[in-house]
């Protein structure tokens, strides 16, 4: 049975890139257009990311703006910046006019302020221009910064017949019709309209007789993170955006929310790994160093601190050298338990799953850490006792492990919760921060308990 070509996922190849490069070099525009016409705009973006910047610009200028506007949105942000730098303000405006208002505003926002004004001045569609300028005025992390102005709305006073005629005209400007929103004469959102109800209704019925008054919405000033949680909770493909007077301003679609979640996940992952700003592998050595060095410096301070603490117990180490050999184990367990605890809390905070008081969370984590610590410590006690033959030494190491694990679990739980309460991204609590702090506390607890038990 012959495979359906449309169902085969696009895969880039060296042969394809070489073919594209050869067609560009030969300026064979006809064959190049024919070749690229077979691909989705996301696939074309992937191709352009593999060729050099001059070749990418050649393709952008060759294809029609209806295609390349979507290609630009799919490009990696750094690659898009390079392309835009090599396009004139008028050429960028031509691309902008083919995009929905939210995507258009996103691209313009990436340009320097002076260039933004020049690009906007070249946009011929005055309504499109005004809507883009409106979106640019909102905070980039707010619902207003993510919403699109394109939507389908109807008035409660319309008849079903008149509504259907007007919807056809509005739908031409909307890429995907997720919902039909109902407003009153003052443009205030009052409900939504079921397509099924609209189709089966009589032509002379009023929309006010068939619309559904229950409708989820967000305020234009709401944080996009809160919007994402609402859409996730209620499985919404789109959600309307209103102002303080309930006036319908636009809508946010699920694809934009997914982009936000992806960006946040990447940022949190890098924060957890000890990288203080968003970077990728293609960034310069200087940028990568700036992002990584602060946390590495923290690790250096932590290591020096641990060494200083160990220096204070030099006499004990000389008498019981075996304590030295278990120092890495204590430090590693403290760091691992702390990171595990903080990772669970950070994930729960991100998914809005962390409920109840901090005290209850700390108590639960303390009990969990105690159980894990006792099991591990018992195994360690038997091992050290059999190896060293000195019960008190084995007890000192094992008891230290239990307490270190409990303290590490509490620290790993408390710090993300504390930071979240203070409005700070809790992801910075994971990785080097938790590891370093628990290393220091772990070493201090370890040698203090050993000194008490061994009476040194």
Q: What is the pLDDT of residue 5?
A: 44
Q: What is the pLDDT of residue 4?
A: 44
Answer with the one of 141, 164, 187 that is the final residue of a domain: 141
Residue 191: inside a domain, yes or no?
yes
- Domain tally, the chain: 3
Residue 259: inside a domain, yes or no?
no
351 shares its domain with 239: no
Residue 368: inside a domain, yes or no?
yes
Handedness of CA 130, 136, 137, 139 (dihedral sign): positive
Residue 264: inside a domain, yes or no?
no
293 shares its domain with 356: yes
Alpha-carbon distance values, 234 to 14, 181, 254, 409 (Å) = 44, 17, 12, 33
CA-based nearest residue to 246, from 210, 212, 218: 218
Q: What is the pLDDT of residue 2?
A: 41
Domain span at residue 353? Answer: 285-454
Render pLDDT for 323-356 as a digit per residue (tens, 0 to 9): 888 888 888 888 788 877 877 777 777 666 666 6
- Report the distance separating Cα 100 and Cα 238, nearest Å: 15
Residues of the chain with pLDDT under 50: 1-5, 7, 274
Residue 272: inside a domain, yes or no?
no
CATH number at residue 323: 1.10.357.20
117 shares its domain with 168: no
388 shares its domain with 242: no
Residue 146: inside a domain, yes or no?
no
Exposure letters 109-136 (e unless 16+ CB within 10 A, then b):
eebeeeebeebbebbeeeebbebbebbb
Residue 117: inside a domain, yes or no?
yes
299 shares its domain with 435: yes
Planar angle of CA 260, 434, 432, nearest 5 degrees:
75
Query: In this structure, how many other beta carbons lie within 10 angstroms of the beta carbon of residue 387?
Result: 12
Answer with the one of 141, 167, 200 that is the final residue of a domain: 141
Q: What is the pLDDT of residue 244?
A: 95
CATH number at residue 157: 3.10.580.10
CA-based nearest residue to 100, from 172, 151, 170, 150: 150
Q: What is the pLDDT of residue 350?
A: 67
Q: What is the pLDDT of residue 77?
A: 83
326 shares its domain with 220: no
133 shares its domain with 228: no
- Report the distance separating Cα 95 and Cα 166, nearest Å: 27
Cβ-Cβ contacts under 8 Å for 62 (sequence gap 6 or more): 29, 32, 33
Query: In this structure, how many other beta carbons lie within 10 angstroms of the beta carbon of residue 276?
Result: 14
328 shares its domain with 300: yes
Q: What is the pLDDT of residue 207?
A: 93
Q: What is the pLDDT of residue 89?
A: 93
220 shares its domain with 304: no
User: What is the value of pTM for the model shown?
Assistant: 0.65
- Report the distance separating Cα 91 and Cα 61, nearest Å: 8
128 shares its domain with 18: yes
344 shares its domain with 446: yes
Answer with the one of 89, 121, 141 that is the final residue of a domain: 141
- Report the distance separating Cα 280 and Cα 80, nearest Å: 15
Q: What is the pLDDT of residue 318?
A: 80
Residue 179: inside a domain, yes or no?
yes
62 token code pair: 């060759």
247 shares its domain with 214: yes
CATH number at residue 46: 1.25.60.10
């Amino acid at each position: 049975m012959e495979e359906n070509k449309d169902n085969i996922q696009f895969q880039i190849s060296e042969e394809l890139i070489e073919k594209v490069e050869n067609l560009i070099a030969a300026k064979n525009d006809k064959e190049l257009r024919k070749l690229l016409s077979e691909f989705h705009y996301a696939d074309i973006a992937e191709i352009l990311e593999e060729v050099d910047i001059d070749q990418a610009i050649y393709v952008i200028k060759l294809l029609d703006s209806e295609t390349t506007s979507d290609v630009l949105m799919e490009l990696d942000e750094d690659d898009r910046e390079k392309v835009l730098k090599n396009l004139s303000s008028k050429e960028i405006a031509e691309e902008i006019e083919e995009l929905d208002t939210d995507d258009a505003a996103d691209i313009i926002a990436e340009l320097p302020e002076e260039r933004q004004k020049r690009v906007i001045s070249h946009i011929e569609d005055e309504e499109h221009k005004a809507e883009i300028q409106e979106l640019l005025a909102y905070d980039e992390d707010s619902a207003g910064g993510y919403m699109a102005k394109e939507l389908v709305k109807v008035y409660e006073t319309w008849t079903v017949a008149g509504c259907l005629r007007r919807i056809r005209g509005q739908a031409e400007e909307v890429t995907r019709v997720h919902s039909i929103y109902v407003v009153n004469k003052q443009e205030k959102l009052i409900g939504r309209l079921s397509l099924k109800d609209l189709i089966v209704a009589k032509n002379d019925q009023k929309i006010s007789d068939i619309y559904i008054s229950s409708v989820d919405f967000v305020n234009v000033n709401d944080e996009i993170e809160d919007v994402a949680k609402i859409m996730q909770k209620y499985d919404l493909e789109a959600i309307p955006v209103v102002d303080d007077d309930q006036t319908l301003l636009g809508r946010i679609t699920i694809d934009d929310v997914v982009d936000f979640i992806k960006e946040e996940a990447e940022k949190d992952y890098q924060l957890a790994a000890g990288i203080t700003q968003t970077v990728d592998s293609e960034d310069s050595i200087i940028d990568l160093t700036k992002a990584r060095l602060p946390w590495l410096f923290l690790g250096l301070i932590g290591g020096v601190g641990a060494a200083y603490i160990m220096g204070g117990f030099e006499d004990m180490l000389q008498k019981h050298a075996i304590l030295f050999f278990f120092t890495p184990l204590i430090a590693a367990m403290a760091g691992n338990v702390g990171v595990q605890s903080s990772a669970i809390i950070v994930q729960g905070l991100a998914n809005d799953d962390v409920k109840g008081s901090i005290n209850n969370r700390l108590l639960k984590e303390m009990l969990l850490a105690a159980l894990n610590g006792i099991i591990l410590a018992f195994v360690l006690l038997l091992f050290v006792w059999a190896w060293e033959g000195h019960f008190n030494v084995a007890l000192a190491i094992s008891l230290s492990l239990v307490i270190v694990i409990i303290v590490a679990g509490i620290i790993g739980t408390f710090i993300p919760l504390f930071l979240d309460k203070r409005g700070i991204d809790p992801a910075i609590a994971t990785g080097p921060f938790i590891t370093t702090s628990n290393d220091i506390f772990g070493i201090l607890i370890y040698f203090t308990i050993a000194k008490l038990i061994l009476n040194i």
